[in-house]
């Protein structure tokens, strides 16, 4: 009897040790819990502390709690969903009304420091066959660790357009068939041309494409101005060597590691599809640094600057090229 009692004691002790050594929650598990957990308040729990505080102060937190409850209710309406904590598939599902199946796959899961970027894409099936689409959207959930809890810091949506895809070409050519010419109304001394595409649409298109670089430049200027303020405020440190030191949200007074000079989204290093990086700090206190912004892909400029504040660009999209021989931005 004593041997049995001793064995049970060892077994219980072992279970307690295993429980206490349970692996901490991963960013992927936190994202799944945020979306699929039926426990009240779980969605809000994984929002950044600054977001929760702002929502609570504005009174919008109650509305968000109702949204979380609505999501749980939708899951209970017979939708067949199966989740996976590892592997290439995040979850699969089936619409009970149409019988259409779908799955969400993990294209990449990259952790760097206190951030973890999870990129997802979706597929739908009909009669067991994957449905092709020329548009291939991907969504990246940038998770950030706050006090040992993974929170949803930022969301990026990328839309891929494979210009040689037969389905895309068919859709484009059907919409680009010749249209009637512009209508011209003649009045004395004036001529009004009414194009097939409205001016407002043309202006909006121009702003969308031409304004992208300007938004990145504004972000660069914001960081450079914050660096100048930081160096003046903390002369014993000099310039900040990480964007997180310039972060704009904190639970206490501003300090060298959270100066509250830029917003948290920009402090994450990712904005407008660009990655912003501070590097090559030198001196003690720091008197020199490099700031770069790039997409990491050909087709978009790379931007760079140093403590002098002059922003330059490189057409090849490479930060090193920009720093070496970039052209000043007008």
| Residue range 85-91: mean pLDDT, rounded | 80
* Closest among 153, 159, 107 to 269, alpha carbons compared: 153
Identify the pLDDT of residue 165: 63
| Residue range 223-243: mean pLDDT, rounded | 95
CA distances from 270 to 120, 216, 224, 231 (A): 17, 11, 16, 23
Identify the pLDDT of residue 23: 74
Identify the pLDDT of residue 69: 47
How far apart CA 227 and CA 243 sit, in angstroms, is 9
How far apart CA 198 and CA 47 sit, in angstroms, is 41
How far apart CA 217 and CA 291 sit, in angstroms, is 12
How far apart CA 303 and CA 291 sit, in angstroms, is 8
Q: Does residue 143 sit in the same domain as residue 230?
A: no
- The answer to whether 244 and 263 are in contact (CB under 8 A) is no
**Residue that finishes a domain, picked among 160, 177, 201:** 160
Task: Determine which of 157-161, 189-193, 237-241, 279-283 has the lowest per-residue pLDDT on average.
Answer: 189-193
| Residue range 67-93: mean pLDDT, rounded | 65
Q: Does residue 248 sit in the same domain as residue 124?
A: no
Q: Does any domain span residue 14?
A: no
Peptide bond into 307 cis (omega under 30): no
Q: Does residue 153 sit in the same domain as residue 27?
A: yes
**Residue that finishes a domain, picked among 94, 127, 160:** 160
Q: Does any domain span residue 254?
A: yes
Number of structural domains the chain divides into: 2
Task: Determine which of 58-62, 175-179, 196-200, 234-238 has the lowest per-residue pLDDT on average.
Answer: 196-200
How far apart CA 46 and CA 85 sit, in angstroms, is 17
Task: Determine which of 16-25, 132-141, 294-303 has the lowest per-residue pLDDT on average.
Answer: 16-25
Give the start-end residues of each E strand in 114-206.
115-126, 129-130, 136-146, 149-160, 183-187, 190-194
**Residue that finishes a domain, picked among 160, 177, 200:** 160
Which residues lie below 8 Å from residue 318, measured CB to CB, with a gap of 6+? 294, 302
Q: Which domain covers residue 269, as residue numbers?
A: 215-328
Q: Does any domain span residue 305?
A: yes
Q: Does any domain span residue 151?
A: yes
- The residues that bridge with 94 in the sheet, in sequence order, are 80, 101
Q: Does any domain span residue 123?
A: yes
Q: Does residue 133 sit in the same domain as residue 234?
A: no
Please report how the helices 61-75 and 49-58 are oriented relative to each other, as an axis angle in degrees rounded to 10: 110
Note if the pTM is more than 0.75.
Answer: no
Q: Does residue 52 sit in the same domain as residue 145?
A: yes
Give percent above pLDDT 70 in the chain. Answer: 64
Pick the residue with more confidence: 223 or 22?
223
Which residues lie below 8 Å from residue 110, measured CB to CB, with a gap of 6+? 116, 117
Q: Does residue 156 sit in the same domain as residue 44?
A: yes
Q: Does residue 138 sit in the same domain as residue 267?
A: no
Q: Does residue 46 sit in the same domain as residue 152?
A: yes
Q: Does any domain span residue 79?
A: yes
Identify the pLDDT of residue 205: 39
Q: Does residue 137 sit in the same domain as residue 258?
A: no
pLDDT band at 12 (very low <50, low <70, confident <90, very high): very low
Q: Does any domain span residue 208?
A: no
Per the prediction, the chain carries an average pLDDT of 75
Q: Does residue 220 sit in the same domain as residue 154?
A: no
| Residue range 240-267: mean pLDDT, rounded | 85
SS3 content of the chain, % helix, strand, coil (to 5): 35, 30, 35
Q: Does residue 156 sit in the same domain as residue 224?
A: no
- The residues that bridge with 136 in the sheet, in sequence order, are 160
As a whole number of Å, the end-to-end CA separation of the chain is 87
Burial tier of 304 (Cβ tally within 10 Å: 0-12, 13-18, 19+): buried
| Residue range 269-286: mean pLDDT, rounded | 92
- pLDDT (tens digit, 9 = 90+) per residue, 133-178? 656 677 888 888 888 888 888 887 776 666 666 666 666 676 666 6
Q: Does any domain span residue 35?
A: yes
The CATH number covering residue 52 comes to 3.10.450
């Amino acid at each position: 009897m004593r041997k049995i009692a001793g064995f049970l004691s060892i077994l219980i002790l072992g279970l307690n040790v295993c429980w206490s050594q349970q692996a901490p929650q991963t960013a992927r598990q936190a994202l799944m819990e945020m979306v699929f957990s039926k426990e009240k308040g779980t969605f809000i729990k994984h929002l950044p502390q600054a977001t929760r505080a702002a929502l609570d102060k504005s009174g919008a937190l109650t509305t968000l709690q109702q949204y979380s409850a609505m999501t749980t209710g939708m899951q209970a309406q017979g939708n067949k969903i199966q989740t996976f904590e590892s592997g290439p598939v995040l979850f699969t599902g089936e619409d009970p009304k149409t019988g259409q199946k779908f799955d969400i796959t993990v294209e990449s899961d990259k952790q760097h420091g206190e951030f973890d970027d999870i990129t997802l894409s979706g597929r739908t099936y009909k009669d067991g066959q994957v449905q092709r689409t020329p548009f291939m959207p991907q969504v990246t959930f940038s998770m950030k660790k706050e006090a040992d809890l993974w929170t949803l810091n930022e969301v990026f949506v990328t839309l891929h357009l494979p210009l040689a895809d037969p389905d895309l070409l068919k859709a484009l050519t059907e919409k680009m068939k010749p249209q009637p010419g512009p209508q011209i109304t003649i009045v004395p001394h004036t001529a009004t041309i009414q194009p097939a595409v409205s001016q407002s649409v043309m202006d909006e298109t121009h702003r969308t494409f031409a304004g992208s670089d300007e938004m990145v430049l504004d972000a660069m200027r914001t960081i450079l101005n914050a660096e100048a303020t930081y160096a003046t405020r903390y002369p014993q440190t000099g310039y900040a060597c990480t964007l997180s030191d310039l972060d704009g949200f904190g639970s206490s007074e501003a300090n060298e590691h959270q100066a509250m000079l830029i917003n948290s989204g920009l402090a994450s290093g990712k904005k407008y599809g660009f990655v912003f990086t501070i590097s090559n700090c030198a001196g003690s206190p720091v008197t020199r640094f490099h700031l770069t912004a790039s997409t990491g892909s050909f087709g978009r400029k790379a931007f760079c600057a140093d403590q002098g504040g002059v922003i330059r660009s490189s057409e090849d999209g490479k930060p090193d090229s920009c720093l070496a021989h970039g052209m000043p931005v007008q």
